[in-house]
């Protein structure tokens, strides 16, 4: 009886060891397939590992490889979203991984042009102190670009005006000021646009290219206000500095008295 129990115990241990070895072999095979570019095989093996090893120590790597195959190899961002969402649930206890996945999710939503969801995702990043100032500044740029595509000028103005302090350098702040002037111009608020540009041009160490852009926009504002002589004078001041001399000459000639 004892002999039988001994052999049964040995058989059970062998089975457990065999199963563990098989799982390890499966993950190793997945890694080999991935390294050799056999991505379909690797995808199937990583999925198998995730399904069978609920407490596996390599689940983050397996999930990350699945995500990489979907995004970087097969260019299927739409199919990557469920992967990211599932990872967010599984790794919710790790702030670092949640932040990494939240950023990836915002990028994917932007890529697939799910504008409403992308705006919400970037706004959460912007409001979350877990992200660096550099990351939050990037979130501002992403939100601005989405609003720009949608021609939602008031929201373009708000996202810049409310987050100017995040600009990483004095030059970036000057560029924000110019962008705000552009938005005010699009909103037909010429008074605020002119005020912003005048203040910009009064700053020290303004980049030459940005100064040219600011003067050109002031000329456009003058035209919109019917101040043709002022507009022509401003355009003339750009001779020798504007990057497209022919286009500038056409504008000046069209305003000849």
Instruction: Report the chain (257 residues): mean pLDDT per 10 consecutive residues.
Output: 40 33 70 92 92 88 95 94 96 96 97 97 95 97 97 97 95 96 97 97 94 98 96 96 95 86
Q: How many alpha carbons lie under 13 Å from residue 3 in its C-beta half-sphere? A: 0
Residue with tokens 């002022």: 230
Tell me how far CA of residue 227 lies from CA of 105, 187, 218, 230, in angstroms. 49, 19, 11, 5
pLDDT of residue 54: 83
* pTM across the whole model: 0.83
pLDDT of residue 57: 86
């Amino acid at each position: 009886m004892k002999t039988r129990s001994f052999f049964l115990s040995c058989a059970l241990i062998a089975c457990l060891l065999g199963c563990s070895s098989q799982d390890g072999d499966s993950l190793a095979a997945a890694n080999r397939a991935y390294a050799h570019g056999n991505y379909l095989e690797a995808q199937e093996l990583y999925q198998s590992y995730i399904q069978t090893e609920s407490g596996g120590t390599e689940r983050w790597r397996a999930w990350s490889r699945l995500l990489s195959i979907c995004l970087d190899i097969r260019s299927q961002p739409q199919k990557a979203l469920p992967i990211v969402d599932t990872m967010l649930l599984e790794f919710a206890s790790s702030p670092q991984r949640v932040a990494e996945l939240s950023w990836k999710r915002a990028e994917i939503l932007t890529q697939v042009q799910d504008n409403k969801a992308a705006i919400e995702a970037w706004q959460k990043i912007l409001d979350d102190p877990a992200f660096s100032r550099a990351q939050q500044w990037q979130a501002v740029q992403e939100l601005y670009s989405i609003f720009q595509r949608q021609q939602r000028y008031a929201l373009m103005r708000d996202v810049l005006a409310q987050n100017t302090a995040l600009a990483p350098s004095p030059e970036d702040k000057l560029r924000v000021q110019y962008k705000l002037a552009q938005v005010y111009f699009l909103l037909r608020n010429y008074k605020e646009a002119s005020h912003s540009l005048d203040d910009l041009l009064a700053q020290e160490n303004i980049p030459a290219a940005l100064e040219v852009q600011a003067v050109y926009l002031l000329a456009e504002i003058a035209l919109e206000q019917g101040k043709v002589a002022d507009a022509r004078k401003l355009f003339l001041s750009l001779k020798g500095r504007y990057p497209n001399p022919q286009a500038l000459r056409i504008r000046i000639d069209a305003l000849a008295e």
